[in-house]
Amino acid sequence: MSRLAHWCFLHRRAVVAGWLLILVVTVALSQSIGSKYNESVSLPGTDSQAAVNLLTDNFPSASGEGDQIVIEAEGGADVRSDQVQQPVTAALSKVAAIPGIASVVSPYSQQGATQISKDGSVAFAAVNWKMKAADVTKSDARKLIDTAKSADGPNVRISLGGQSIENEESAGPGVSVVVGAIAALVILLIVFGGALFASLMPLVTAAVALLIGTSLISLLSHVMDTPSVSSDLAVLIGLGVGIDYGLFIISRHRGSVKAGRSYEDSTVLAVNTSGRTVLFAGMTVCIALLGQFALGVDYLYGVSAASALTVALTMATALTFLPAMLGFLGPKTLSRRERRALAEKGPVAEDASGFWLRWGKFVERRRVPVAAGALALVVVIGLPLFSLRLGSSGAATDPPDSTTHQAYAALSRGFGPGYNGPFQLVTEVNSPSDAQAFDTFLAAAAKEPGVVLVTPPTTSPNGKVALAILYPSTGPGAKATVSLVSDIRGLAPKAEGPGHPAVHVGGVTPANIDFSRVLSEKLPLFIAVVVVLAFLLLVTVFRSLLIPLVAAVMNLLSVGAALGAMNVVFTWGWGDSILNIPATGPVDAFIPVLLFSVLFGLSMDYEVYLVSRMQEEWHLRRRARNGSHADQVLDNHWAVTHGQGKTGRVVAAAAGIMILVFGSFLISDDHVLKEFGFGLGFAVLVDALIIRGLLVPALMHLIGPANWVMPRWLERIVPNFSIEAATRKEVQ
């Protein structure tokens, strides 16, 4: 690491020019080629996927994206009245002529007779595209919205729902990024004593990585299935970790400059100590993110690859671009006041003092009650995890002024919430008896509790597949809907009898339920893979078994607390008005996986930064005196307390930046970003304040010198990537 830092410092013009060239090339390629995001989810082996396969092969017009045009009569009119029907019929004729539209079923047609509410206040037209939602461009969806809304008038209100409409209205992080960056800059200015250039460097470094990263993600979407949310989540993650990585390195650099080292030596020391923290923490984040491939769900492949790519870029820019920029800044990494104090009073050695040393001594004195109290508090926060319900948030949680939310609300008022999540009942028809058996099943399904309507079956053009639509009485995110899907799937064999093709239950809602089930079943394997890999990495870093073990358990506690808090806010509805959450419901199924991936890595940031400094203090203390076991116990207390005293301010600042950056996404209109932002922000708060600030130091005091011990036989076979071993000369 020291050679890399030295080379980047000396060849700073070439390093900066190289990164800027990469930035220009990737952005230019991204702009010229564009993106090809894919929102579709493939779940091999599930019932909903079997329905999709049958429709795709035999009933193309029914397998494409399905949207709804919702018609509301205003001013006391009825949807059947001429003043409503005429403009709507004209608009639907124009919609049918849009390229890519396969069919439009009007509520005024015989086929759409059931698409008018009983009171005549609401109706809807079913729009089927020739392609799936992933292939419907934003311009196509916008054309549909504008054409349908041409019927708007004093007596008619039009709104639209469907996945392609959701995709078109997705605004991305937008203002949240700006707010988060400004908040981070304020904290950096406070931490760096008003040194403007030093405060800007983490933001500039992160910005370079994010611009390159988002451009590469756009290009990545052409070679692997990548949902559009991948780019937004990558920005959220990259902004947080990128600023923190810069904070760690610049903080160590500034401390070395104040201690009298040259700018070059300070840069080398910072990269060789804090830079190693960045390297190992970043590797842990990437391992956790790429561990999602173990789940076998292709929807997450693009998300994990995009996020891991962005984190790798923030790590690379922090270790190369940032040292080069420090070479350009020279004395400007300090504020004028700090430069004047250095010139007048001379170098000042970096030492533990002030509030954080007093905090560390408090934890040392009260280690038993501190450990017990902190552990109890984290467990209590995480208890709601055991009632966590996964699913899909859907249009109910969209902003109230969005057309998708308005369509959801109108359908719920006119027909019931279940009309926002119909089921597709699909079966093969190989003989008249198969068709008769399917009719028998549909009649039985219509009598099931929780079913509002089952449409008559429609036969595919080739005559091999029959399709019917079932409308439940409850919304897509309701527990009763999950139970109904299971009941309908179990009903088919009983109603049809033996010897007939299986009836598959598909559609967006059953597919989301299957998605949640698949992730829930595979989540333990994913967690085990990530925890084991992170444990092995930390063993090589700290040359210890207990420190990685404690870190793994603490990280699991952080994730549990975050998921528990998310359940309280997004499902139970506590504080939803304060946090501007339009509606409650299940937590999106893929959020816990992503949250675990990112948080496990972010927790390692603080763990490695905190414990590596403690390890430095331990080795320095042990070299100064090599005494008895009692001396070792005292040395351990010294190392833990002073390591915490020296890192507490930076860890608190890093956590504050993370909380503000992630928290800024609560002002976004995107519900997924709200969930992710709140979950990560709350988790970092718990992790930095309770776990790293209280629980981990208290446990290390209680464990004693065994913190730093590894069996000799294991010592010989494990590679030595110890931060302390690599930096012994510098820290002396």
Task: Give the per-residue SS3 of 541-592.
Answer: HHCCCHHHHHHHHHHHHHHHHHHHHHHHHHHCCCCCCCCCCCCCCCEECCHH
Architecture of domain 64-169: 2-Layer Sandwich (3.30)
Nearest to 536 by CA among 287, 309, 294, 278: 287
Distance separating the N- and C-terminal Cα atoms of the chain: 17
Phi-psi region of 76 (alpha: psi -120 to 50; beta: other; left: phi over 0): left
Residue 473 binned pLDDT confidence (cut-offs 50, 70, 90): very high
Q: What is the pLDDT of residues 186-241, one digit of tens each?
A: 988 988 888 999 999 999 999 999 999 999 999 988 888 888 778 888 888 888 88
pLDDT at 731 over 50: no
Fold matches, 64-169 and 422-506 = yes
pLDDT value, residue 729? 47
Per-position b or e across 75-110, b if 16+ CB within 10 A of its CB: eebbbeeebbbebbbebbebbeeeebbbebebbbee
Q: How large is the average pLDDT for residues 18-29?
A: 95
pLDDT-above-90 percentage for the chain: 37
Give long-range contacts, CB 8 A cutoff, 24+ apart: 300-305. 300/590, 300/593, 300/594, 301/224, 301/225, 302/38, 302/220, 302/221, 302/224, 302/225, 302/226, 302/227, 302/230, 303/226, 303/227, 303/229, 303/230, 303/233, 303/590, 303/594, 304/597, 305/220, 305/224, 305/226
Contact indicator for 280, 248 with CB cutoff of 8 Å: no
Instruction: Identify residue 535 by its one-letter amino acid code.
Output: F
Largest CA-CA distance found in the chain, in angstroms, rounded: 98
Q: How large is the average pLDDT for residues 292-308?
A: 84
Joined tokens for residue 30: 């991204």
Nearest to 365 by CA among 640, 630, 44: 640
pLDDT value, residue 494? 80
Q: How large is the average pLDDT for residues 697-726?
A: 79
Q: What is the pLDDT of residues 66-87, one digit of tens each?
A: 899 999 998 888 999 999 999 9
Higher pLDDT pick, 488 / 223: 488
pLDDT value, residue 730? 47
Helix axes 546-566, 367-382, angle to 10 degrees: 40
pLDDT at 724 over 60: no
pLDDT at 344 over 60: yes
- The pLDDT mean for the chain works out to 86
pLDDT at 408 over 70: yes
Residue 162 binned pLDDT confidence (cut-offs 50, 70, 90): confident
Question: What are the start-end ranges of the H helices in 567-711?
Answer: 591-624, 629-663, 671-685, 696-703
Q: What is the CA radius of gyration of the chain?
A: 29
Beta bridge partners of 471: 453
Nearest to 654 by CA among 209, 272, 278: 278
* 66 sits in which H/E element: strand 66-73
- C-alpha of 679 from chain center: 9
pLDDT value, residue 627? 63
* 175 sits in which H/E element: helix 175-191
Tell me which CATH code domain 422-506 carries.
3.30.70.360
pLDDT at 723 over 60: no
Contact indicator for 173, 665 with CB cutoff of 8 Å: yes
Q: What is the pLDDT of residues 283-295, one digit of tens each?
A: 888 888 888 887 7
pLDDT at 172 over 70: no
Q: 3-state class of 727 per DSSP?
A: coil
Q: How large is the average pLDDT for residues 518-531?
A: 84
pLDDT value, residue 657? 87
Q: How large is the average pLDDT for residues 471-496?
A: 88
Q: How large is the average pLDDT for residues 293-316?
A: 87
As a whole number of angstroms, the distance between CA 712 and CA 717 comes to 9
pLDDT value, residue 625? 60
Burial class (CB in 10 A: 0-12, 13-18, 19+), 40: middle
pLDDT value, residue 117? 92
Residue 699 binned pLDDT confidence (cut-offs 50, 70, 90): very high
As a whole number of angstroms, the distance between CA 58 and CA 424 comes to 14
Ranges 122-131, 174-183, 497-506: which has the least confidence: 174-183
Residue 136: count other Cβ atoms within 10 Å of its Cβ: 25
Q: What is the pLDDT of residues 547-578, one digit of tens each?
A: 889 888 888 888 899 999 999 998 888 877 77
pLDDT at 474 over 80: yes
Question: Could you tell me the residue ranges of all domains in the chain?
Answer: 2-33+171-385+513-731, 64-169, 422-506
pLDDT-above-70 percentage for the chain: 96
Q: How large is the average pLDDT for residues 371-381?
A: 94
As a whole number of angstroms, the distance between CA 294 and CA 525 comes to 8
Q: What is the pLDDT of residues 441-464, one digit of tens each?
A: 999 999 999 999 999 999 999 989
Q: What is the pLDDT of residues 244-258, one digit of tens each?
A: 899 989 988 988 888
